[in-house]
Amino acid sequence: MGSEYNGNYVQDAPVFKLNLFPLPAVDVSSWNESNKLMTGCVLKSEYYGRCVGHRFPLFRELIVHFAPNVIVCIGREFINEFKFAFWGDIEVDVPVLSEQLRPDEIYPQIHRKQGFPTIIETPFFGWRKFQLNLDSDAKLLGEEIGKKLLKYLDKCIEPDVNL
């Protein structure tokens, strides 16, 4: 990336990545002295609160500015945080698509709210149970998201007659 890299994204790139909670952690329950010194937060819940108060509004500004149609969110345990970060609330929605590809919960869910980007929720890529820990799992998930998202978008997007 070199000199073209500008913070969290490359200008005019079709994709960029952001973390809800940018501080790396071995797992979501860990919080040690190093984390306390780095953030000034005694409790992990305090750190989460600061991210919600200061970082989530940035995400909503980015949505207004860049107008994405789809946001891919990785990790099952944070769906309400994803909704709050990108939609501004955690309005109860019925997932538009929730289909198990295999019996061990490796499947995407697609959440939709009128006037906001579609959220695709996927399992976390890792080695624990219910995570994508094989290349074949990740490939299967990617293929299924692609197929189902195309079907979904075909139903939702009306063609522009002016094109």
Residue by residue, DSSP assigns the chain as -GGG-BTTB-TT-S-----SS-S--SSTT---HHHHHHH--SSHHHHHHHIIIIIHHHHHHHHHHH--SEEEEE-GGGHHHHHHHHHSS------SEE--SSTTS---EEE--TTS-EEEEE--BSSSTTSB-SHHHHHHHHHHHHHHHHHHHHHHPPP-TT-
What's the pLDDT tens digit per position in 64-89? 988 888 888 887 778 889 999 999 88
Cα 35 off chain centre by: 23
Query: In angstroms, rounded to a whole number, what is the distance separating the alpha carbons of residues 89 and 144?
Result: 28
Contact between 144 and 101 (Cβ < 8 Å): yes
pTM summary value: 0.66
Query: Which pLDDT band, with edges at 50, 70 and 90, does 4 fall under?
Result: very low
- Reported residue count of the chain is 163
| Residue 120 tokens, joined | 């695709």
Which of the two residues, 122 and 141, has the higher pLDDT score?
A: 122
Q: In the predicted model, what is the mean pLDDT of residues 41-45? A: 88
Query: Which pLDDT band, with edges at 50, 70 and 90, does 24 fall under?
Result: low
Q: In the predicted model, what is the mean pLDDT of residues 39-50? A: 89
